[in-house]
Structure 1
Amino acid sequence: MSKALIEAARGQADRLRPLSFSKAAYVYLPTDYARIPHEKYLRRFGKGRKRVLMLGMNPGPYGMAQTGVPFGEIPAVRDWMGITGKVETPDPEHPKRPVSGFKCERSEVSGRRLWGLFAEKYPDADDFFAEHFVANYCPLVWMSETGANITPDKLPKEEMVPVEEACQEHLDKVIATLKPEFLIGVGAYAEGKLKEAAERIGYEANLGKILHPSPASPAANRGWAEAAEKQLLDMGVW
């Protein structure tokens, strides 16, 4: 199964790589330049059917953009998952948004919260990944000339059509490969993408969401782990 996930990720990257965006001066594709740790993640933890598939949106600057792993807070990836690997430099690279891979000293708050909760409940990462898998919907990072992050809704709709097509096809393949019982969005946006995918491929599963752990969310800053754990318990995931 991990082989199918790797093939799906490479196919998605091949479709996204040549795209250009009029409002984005810089575009990073971590599944390309951080392919080594990304595929280690898929190879090690994408084996077998999963009971729960969790989906995020797109890479954070100090998480997946550095490690190639969804919500890829470095200590969680390196120490809990046991994944490291060479990370290349994106071309072009924004001087204010350098990619230093596992040498990056900044923390990805969303990833620290997400993986921190899972590591607390499952001290051995293999126990978590025996039934769970975490994926991202879109692996692209868009930036302005200043290095400011650009969200997909700020890009021209016609430029996002091929992005959506590639990401939809990839998500369909991930669901078909892992055959999860639960489709859980990390936030409402991801939940919506999972709902669309399930309807598109005629897949029946329990659909739900947990609060997104972003520090931009006041609700997440008031005790994200407690809120997310309660949601997972209420849905019967845990």
Structure 2
Amino acid sequence: MTSSTTKDQIESLLDVYQDLNRALDALTFEAPVAHVYNPLKYAHRPARLYLEKYLAGPAERTLLLGMNPGPWGMAQTGVPFGEIEAVRDWLEIKAPVEQPDNMHPKRPIEGFDCTRSEVSGRRLWGYFADRFETATKFRNHFVIFNYCPLIFLEQSGRNRTPDKLTKDEREALYEICDRCLVAVLEILTIKKALGVGKFAEKCLKRVKNRVSTLQEVGSILHPSPASPAANRGWAEQVAPILERCIP
């Protein structure tokens, strides 16, 4: 890929992010949702570095799609599955992170000073760190993106996933996120995409016919520690699928 092509991708992706944030700002959510964070806004500096270094990139990559941020991952770093050490030490991304409006006292945003570790991100990025010598080599084969950039918190501090929103809220949110996903898949000329979990796979299947380049959709087991299956050797279970994505 030429640098000019990469530059064009970056500019197009930044436009998509701008449109996405503008559309998301217009949404409202009812109880039990009490707080909504958008790390693409308050963590825009590391989010942009990730976009420039790892989202934009060569053709023929497999896209891995996550659902939405976790409180100790992307919510802190602006990077999908963004476990602090993985982002800082392997992806070599570190930048100032601001704080969202109406921050939940039980879910503070501390950016790269956060001492909590997201298990899902540690497993996912850890797999690729073990598989590839460098993050640059990873970038030649895979790209990781989240379907929805918002994190929804209940008054208790509990995370509420997008699929648990009300029907009207889901429909409005999915329309916006589907549009963004289609644009990203087209810009990156993705031919193969895997959902990290079944929710993300459903999102990919829903938009597949709207993406001229997309030929194959599948899934891998989500690395969440809440999944008993993922706690029984997650890496060993997903390795055969991911290895088939590497020429």
Check if 1:115 corresponds to 2:149.
Answer: no
Query: 1:40 is matched with which residue?
Result: 49
Contact 2:190 2:214 in 1 (8 A): no
- The answer to whether residue 16 in structure 2 is matched with residue 8 in structure 1 is yes
The answer to whether residue 27 in structure 2 is matched with residue 19 in structure 1 is yes
Instruction: Provide the residue aligned with 1:175 in structure 2.
Output: 185
Q: Distance between the aligned counterparts of 1:125 and 1:137, measured in 2?
A: 22
Q: Structure 1 stretches of 5 or more lacking a match?
A: none
1:20-62: CA deviations, max 9, x gaps?
2112110011111101100110011213324211100000110
State the match for 2:4 in structure 1: none
Residues 139-163 of structure 1: CA deviation (Å, up to 9, x unaligned)? 1111111111112232211122221
Distance 1:112 1:201 in 2: 31
The equivalent of 2:67 in structure 1 is 57
Query: Which of residues 132, 156, 165 is equivalent to 2:166?
Result: 156
Q: Alignment identity in percent? A: 48
Partner Cα distance (2:113, 2:60) in 1: 31
Matches within 5 A, 1:81-230: 81-230=91-240
SS in 2 for 1:143: strand
Unaligned runs of 5+ in 2: 1-8
Residue correspondences, number: 236
Q: Which residue of 2 aligns with 1:72?
A: 82
Aligned amino acid, residue 184 of structure 1: L
Shift of 1:202: 4.6
Out of 125-134 and 57-66, give the one that drifted further.
Answer: 125-134
Work out whether residues 68 and 161 of structure 2, in 8 Å CA contact, stay in contact via their aligned partners in 1.
no
The CA distance in 1 between the partners of 2:158 and 2:172, in whole Å, is 23
The answer to whether the 8 A contact 1:71-1:110 is kept is: yes
CA contact (8 A) 1:6 1:43 kept: no
Q: Distance in 2 between matches of 1:72 and 1:78?
A: 9
Q: State the Cα deviation string for residues 99-137 of structure 1 (Å, max 9, x = none).
A: 000000000000000000001111210111122110000
Contact kept? 1:50, 1:133, Cα under 8 Å: no
Q: Over aligned residues, Cα RMSD in angstroms? A: 1.2
TM-score (normalizing by structure 2) = 0.92
Q: Which amino acid aligns with 1:28?
A: Y
Distance 1:231 1:130 in 2: 17
TM, length-normalised to structure 1:
0.95
Q: Provide the C-alpha distance between the structure 2 equivalents of 1:103 and 1:50, rounded to a whole number of angstroms.
A: 36
Quick check: 2:198–2:219 contact (8 Å CA) kept in 1? yes
